[in-house]
A and B are shown apart, each in its own frame.
Chain A
Amino acid sequence: MSARDEVLSRIRTALGDRRPVPDVPRDHRTTDDRPPDELLDLLTERVEDYRATVLRCPPDAVTPAVVAALDTGLGAGVGAGWDPASVVVAPGVPDAWRPDGVATDDGRPAVGLAAFAASVTGVAVAIAETGTLVLDGSPLCGRRALSLLPDCLVCVVEAGQVVGEVPEGLGRLDPVAPLTMVSGPSATSDIELQRVEGVHGPRTLVVVLVA
Chain B
Amino acid sequence: MTAVFLGIPTAPPGVGHLRGDRSFPDAARDALRDGQLRANLGHATSTIRAKRAAVVGEVPDWAELRQAGKAIKAATMARLDEHLLELETRVTERGGTVHWARDAAEANRIVTELVRATGADEVVKVKSMATQEIGLNEALEAAGIAALETDLAELIVQLGEDRPSHILVPAIHKNRAEIREIFARTIPGVDPSLTDEPRRLAMAARAHLRERFLRARVAISGANFAVADTGTLAVVESEGNGRMCLTLPDTLITVMGIEKVVPTWRDLEVFLQLLPRSSTGERMNPYTSLWAGVTPGDGPQEFHLVLLDNGRTAVLADEIGREALHCIRCSACLNVCPVYERTGGHAYGSVYPGPIGAVLSPQLTGVEDNASLPYASSLCGACYDVCPVAIDIPSILVHLRAEHVEAQQRRTPEAAAFRALARAMSHPRLWRLAQRAAGLGRFLARGRPTMPASLPPPASAWTRSRDLPTPPRETFTAAWAREHGS
Residues of A within 8 A of B (CB): 2-4, 6-8, 10-16, 18-30, 46, 49-50, 107, 110-111, 114, 127, 129-132, 137, 143-145, 148, 166-167, 170-171, 175-196, 198-202
Contacts and interface: CB of A to CB of B under 8 A. Distances in A.
Given A11-B80, A192-B176, A200-B239, A107 B297 contact: yes
Given A11-B80, A178-B295, 7 more contacts: A11-B258, A15-B316, A145-B299, A166-B272, A178-B289, A188-B239, A196-B202
A179 B289 contact: yes
Nearest to B67: A25
A27 B68 contact: yes
Please classify the interface of chain B as helix (H, G, I), strand (E, B), loop, or mixed, using the class held by over half of its residues. Answer: helix
Please classify the interface of chain A as helix (H, G, I), strand (E, B), loop, or mixed, using the class held by over half of its residues. Answer: loop
Given A15-B80, A114-B214, A148-B247, A183 B151 contact: no
A22 B244 contact: no
Contacts of A131: 283-284
Interface in B254-273: 258, 265-266, 268-270, 272-273
B47 A192 contact: yes
Q: Please indicate which of the listed interface residues B152, B209, B314 has the most CB atoms of chain A within 10 Å of its own CB.
A: B152
Nearest to A167: B269
Interface of B: 1, 3, 6-8, 40, 43-45, 47-48, 51, 60-61, 64-65, 67-68, 71-72, 74-75, 77-81, 84-85, 94, 99-102, 106, 150-153, 156, 169, 171-172, 175-176, 179, 198-199, 201-203, 205-206, 209-210, 213-215, 227, 230-232, 238-241, 243-244, 246-248, 258, 265-266, 268-270, 272-273, 276, 280, 282-293, 295, 297-299, 307, 309, 313-314, 316-317, 322
A163 B80 CA distance: 33
Contact of B61 (A14, A27, A132): A27
B202 A198 contact: yes
Contacts of A15: 77-78, 80-81, 316
A193 B172 contact: yes
B258 A29 contact: no
A173 B172 CA distance: 36
A135 to B, nearest CB: 10
B75 A22 contact: yes
A21 B214 contact: no
Contact of A190 (B156, B227, B246, B272): B156
6 contacts: A13-B7, A111-B248, A175-B290, A186-B239, A186-B287, A190-B169
Contacts of A110: 247-248
A56 to B, nearest CB: 21
B274 to A, nearest CB: 10
A26 B244 CA distance: 35
Contacts of B65: 28
Task: Give me the 5 closest cross-chain CB pairs, A-B, nearest first.
Answer: A201-B240, A200-B240, A10-B313, A14-B317, A199-B239
Contact of B175 (A2, A144, A192): A192
B286 A186 contact: yes
Given A178-B299, A183-B284, A200-B209, A148 B238 contact: no
B1 A16 contact: yes
Contacts of A181: 272, 284, 287-290
Contacts of B314: 10, 14
A6 to B, nearest CB: 6
A23 B298 CA distance: 38
A6 B240 CA distance: 37
Contact of B213 (A7, A127, A200): A200
A87 B459 CA distance: 73
Contacts of B297: 107, 143
Contacts of A144: 243, 246-247, 289, 298-299
A7 B205 contact: no
Contact of B292 (A49, A171, A176): A176
A107 B297 CA distance: 8
A205 to B, nearest CB: 9
Given A3-B102, A7-B309, A145-B247, A180 B287 contact: yes
Contacts of B272: 166, 170, 181
A182 B243 CA distance: 11
Given A3-B106, A14-B8, A111-B214, A193 B265 contact: no
A184 B286 contact: yes
Nearest to B152: A190
Given A144-B298, A180-B288, A188-B152, A14 B240 contact: no
Given A15-B316, A183-B285, A194-B198, A201 B243 contact: yes
A199 B152 contact: yes
A30 B269 contact: yes
Contact of B3 (A7, A14, A182): A14
A14 B6 contact: yes
A86 to B, nearest CB: 17
A137 B293 CA distance: 14
A29 B75 contact: no
A7 B100 contact: yes
